[in-house]
């Protein structure tokens, strides 16, 4: 049985396998391995943990421990566009909270959900983006936006909604 969906899935696991060749029996490299895995899938799928476990000679329970410890790793699928909003001190003092509210409203995220239903956006508050001089700051994928106001949010979001199809799963 074959379907196009599975074809794509295979591709990603092939990429994972190829990447893992560089890290055979190196459990100390688990963090860079997980970072690259997340680059391939956008998150860390359960099946990938098993594959990593075999390659690195590391129990999957320990891998799970590392994945859940660090804020960067995700066990659930995430949106195509990652919006990181800074919740650092300077942004807090300069009204980052209102910007967050505007994004939540703009994406229609309800009840504490962080990913939109169409998997277009994931919203992630982060501790500090290190651009405090530009507070409040958000980062969408690799683009940084500084000194933004809640009023500017809808236009910024619209820009990424239009770019639909631009970015696919390969990092």
Partner 1 sequence: MGSLSEIKKQFQAELKASPKRIKVVVGLGTCGIAAGGEKVFKALDKYIKQNELQADIMSTACIGMCYAEPIMEIHIPDGPRIIYGNMKPETAVEILKNHIYEGKINVGYAIAQETRGNQVIEDIPELKDIPFYSKQVKTVLGRCGVIDPERIEQYIAADGYEALEKALTTMSPVKLIEEIKISGLRGRGGGGFPTGRKWEAAYQSNDSKKYVICNADEGDPGAFMDRSILEGDPHALLEGMALCGYAIGADEGYIYVRAEYPLAIRRLRKAIQDAEKMGLLGQNIMDSGFNFKINIAAGAGAFVCGEETALMHSIEGKRGMPRVRPPYPAQSGLWGHPSNINNVETYANVPAIVRAGGSCFAEIGSANSKGTKVFALTGNINHTGLAEVPIGISLREIVFEIGGGIQNNHCYKAVQIGGPSGGCIPEDLLDTPVDYDSLLELGAMMGSGGLVVMDESTCMVDVARYFLQFTQEESCGKCTPCREGTRQMLKILERICAGEGEPEDIPTLERLCRVIKDTSLCGLGQSAPNPVMATLRYFQSEYEAHIYDKKCPAGVCTNLLKFWIDETKCKGCALCENICPVKAISGERKQVHYVDQEKCIQCGNCMAACKFDAIVRA
Contact 86, 129 (CB under 8 A): yes
Find the shortest distance in angstroms from Cβ 10 to partner 1. Answer: 27
Q: Alpha-carbon distance 141 to 163, whole Å?
A: 13
Find the shortest distance in angstroms from Cβ 138 to partner 1. Answer: 9
Cα-based distances in Å from 41 to 13, 14, 34, 97: 9, 12, 10, 30
- Complex with partner 1: residue 79 or 88, whichever CB lies closer: 88
- Complex with partner 1: residue 50 or 72, whichever CB lies closer: 72
Q: Which residues bind partner 1 (CB under 8 A)?
A: 27-32, 34-35, 65-66, 69-73, 87-90, 92-94, 126-135, 137, 142, 144-147
Q: In 23-168, which ranges are continuous DSSP H helix?
A: 30-41, 46-56, 60-69, 89-93, 96-107, 153-162
- Complex with partner 1: residue 147 or 159, whichever CB lies closer: 147
- Complex with partner 1: residue 13 or 64, whichever CB lies closer: 64
- Residue ranges for the known binding site for [2Fe-2S] cluster are 86, 91, 128, 132
Per-residue tokens: 60: 């999957």
Q: Alpha-carbon distance 80 to 9, whole Å?
A: 16
Burial class (CB in 10 A: 0-12, 13-18, 19+), 132: middle
Find the shortest distance in angstroms from Cβ 120 to partner 1. Answer: 22
- Complex with partner 1: residue 43 or 73, whichever CB lies closer: 73
Find the shortest distance in angstroms from Cβ 7 to partner 1. Answer: 31
Find the shortest distance in angstroms from Cβ 94 to partner 1. Answer: 7
């Amino acid at each position: 049985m074959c379907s196009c969906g599975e074809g794509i899935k295979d591709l990603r696991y092939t990429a994972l396998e190829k990447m893992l060749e560089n890290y055979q029996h190196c459990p100390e490299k688990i963090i860079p391995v997980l970072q690259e895995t997340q680059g391939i899938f956008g998150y860390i799928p359960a099946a990938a943990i098993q594959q990593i476990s075999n390659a690195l000679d590391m129990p999957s329970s320990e891998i799970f421990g590392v994945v859940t410890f660090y804020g960067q790793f995700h066990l659930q699928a995430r949106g195509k566009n990652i919006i990181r909003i800074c919740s650092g001190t300077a942004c807090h003092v300069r009204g980052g909270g209102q910007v967050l509210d505007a994004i939540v409203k703009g994406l229609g995220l309800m009840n504490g959900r962080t990913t939109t239903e169409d998997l277009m956006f994931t919203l992630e508050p982060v501790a500090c983006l290190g651009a405090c001089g530009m507070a409040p700051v958000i980062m969408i994928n690799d683009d940084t936006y500084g000194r933004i106001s809640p009023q500017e949010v809808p236009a910024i979001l619209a820009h990424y909604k239009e770019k639909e199809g631009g970015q696919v799963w390969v990092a």
